[in-house]
């Protein structure tokens, strides 16, 4: 299958490679000409055969809106746009309406896999009309992990990004729990090998997970995380999850507390946030801040 891909950063660049490895034709565009296959969005669209599919992997908000506005002018009826970034689900409804007026289909795809997706595959949570989702099945099959799991048509437009938002909210709470446990182990005199305690949990325990494996990786690189500042950013999806919980009267005490803990990290050099910063770097390649030397 042939597809255009806009945005060739940490995720988009690896997705282009994974799709090509599966035999698909990918024409990529990025504002960085060193990464781009074509010089402009117009060139990308011109190289695609109708009906065209363009997958957008740029930051949420204004950058995504700008690309979709431009594609609305360039694409034709029966073409399809996929937003695979971390857009808010309410933006999906707006984009689907804007493109639909021109006969252009829209699919929202929550994508999880970070910098490991090229090797392991990407979990895909997709929203949109069945007609457009089915058209993209070969692309979804190539991107997802091998085996029966890793892809879901979650529902109508917005469902994919809503599901990914909830996924990220759960991720916040899980990372917070590991971070709190790590700080407590580090605080007591009786435990003198915290890293190996974490490693011992990787097999046979109910708290084993990929995040735990990544925590061990981070501790192998810096046993006490002394090189990191206890500061962790948030992508916005934790906030959106809490807002959606309020709107729907659903109690989310663990996820809400984990979001507020990130806010606290910006006030002091929080030991817990060193672990969360390390985990975000491990699974997503997110930037970390180095500890200030005395």
Give residue-wise pLDDT tens across range 47-106: 999 999 999 999 999 999 999 999 999 999 999 999 999 999 999 999 999 999 999 999
- Cα distance between residue 20 and residue 118, in whole Å: 11
Give residue 292's pLDDT: 65
181 pLDDT higher than 90? yes
Helix H or strand E encompassing 268: none
Provide the β-strand partners of residue 3: 26
- Cα distance between residue 225 and residue 186, in whole Å: 11
The CATH number of the domain covering residues in 165-265: 1.10.1040.10
Q: Strand locations in the chain, DSSP E?
A: 2-6, 25-29, 53-56, 80-83, 105-112, 123-127, 151-155
State pLDDT tens for residues 272-284: 878 888 898 888 8
CATH 3.40.50.720 in the chain: give the residue spans. Answer: 2-155
The CATH fold assigned to 2-155 is: Rossmann fold (3.40.50)
- Cα distance between residue 137 and residue 135, in whole Å: 6
- Mean pLDDT over residues 206-229, rounded? 95
201 pLDDT higher than 80? yes
293 counts as catalytic: no
CA-based torsion, 164, 177, 149, 16: positive or negative? positive
State pLDDT tens for residues 213-223: 999 999 999 99
If one compares 266 and 170, the residue with the highest pLDDT of the two is 170
Q: Are 133 and 155 in contact (CB under 8 A)?
A: no
Q: What percent of the chain has pLDDT over 90?
A: 83
Among the listed residues 164, 183, 237, 274, the single catalytic one is 164
Among the listed residues 171, 183, 237, 274, the single catalytic one is 171
293 pLDDT higher than 60? no
The two counts, helices (H) then strands (E), for the chain are 13, 7
164 counts as catalytic: yes
Quick check: helix, strand or coil at residue 226? coil
294 pLDDT higher than 50? no
- Cα distance between residue 77 and residue 187, in whole Å: 62
Give residue 100's pLDDT: 97
CATH 1.10.1040.10 in the chain: give the residue spans. Answer: 165-265
Q: What is the pTM of this model?
A: 0.86
Give residue 268's pLDDT: 63
- Cα distance between residue 170 and residue 41, in whole Å: 36
Give residue 281's pLDDT: 86
Give the mean pLDDT of the chain: 93
State pLDDT tens for residues 108-119: 999 999 888 999
The distance between the two most distant Cα atoms of the chain, rounded to a whole number of Å, is 68
Give residue 136's pLDDT: 97
Residue 88 burial (10 A CB sphere; 0-12, 13-18, 19+): buried
Parallel, antiparallel or unpaired: strands 123-127 and 105-112? antiparallel
């Amino acid at each position: 299958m042939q597809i255009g891909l806009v945005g060739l950063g940490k995720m988009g660049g690896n997705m282009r490679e994974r799709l090509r490895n599966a035999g698909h034709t990918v024409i990529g565009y990025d504002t960085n000409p060193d990464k781009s296959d074509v010089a402009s969005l117009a060139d990308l669209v011109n190289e695609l055969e109708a009906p065209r599919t363009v997958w957008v992997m740029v930051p949420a908000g204004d950058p995504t809106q700008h690309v979709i506005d431009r594609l609305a002018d360039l694409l034709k009826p029966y073409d399809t746009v996929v937003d695979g970034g971390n857009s808010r689900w309410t933006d999906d409804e707006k984009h689907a309406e804007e493109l639909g007026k021109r006969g252009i289909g829209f699919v929202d795809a929550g994508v999880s896999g970070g910098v490991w997706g090229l090797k392991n595959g990407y979990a895909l949570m997709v929203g949109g009309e069945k007609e457009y989702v089915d058209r993209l099945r070969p692309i979804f099959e190539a991107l997802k992990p091998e085996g029966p799991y890793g892809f879901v048509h979650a529902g109508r437009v917005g469902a994919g990004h809503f599901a990914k938002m909830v996924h990220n909210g759960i991720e916040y709470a899980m990372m917070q729990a590991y971070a709190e446990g790590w700080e407590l182990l580090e605080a007591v005199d009786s435990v003198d090998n915290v890293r190996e305690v974490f490693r011992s949990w990787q097999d046979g325990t109910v708290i084993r997970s990929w995040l735990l494996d990544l925590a061990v990786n981070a501790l192998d690189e810096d046993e006490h995380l002394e090189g990191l500042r206890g500061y962790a950013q948030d992508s916005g999806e934790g906030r959106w999850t809490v807002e959606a919980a309020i709107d729907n009267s659903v109690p989310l005490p663990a996820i809400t507390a984990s979001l507020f803990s990130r806010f606290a990290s910006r006030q002091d050099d929080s030991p817990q946030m060193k672990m969360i910063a390390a985990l975000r770097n491990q699974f997503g390649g997110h930037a970390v801040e180095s500890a200030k030397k005395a």
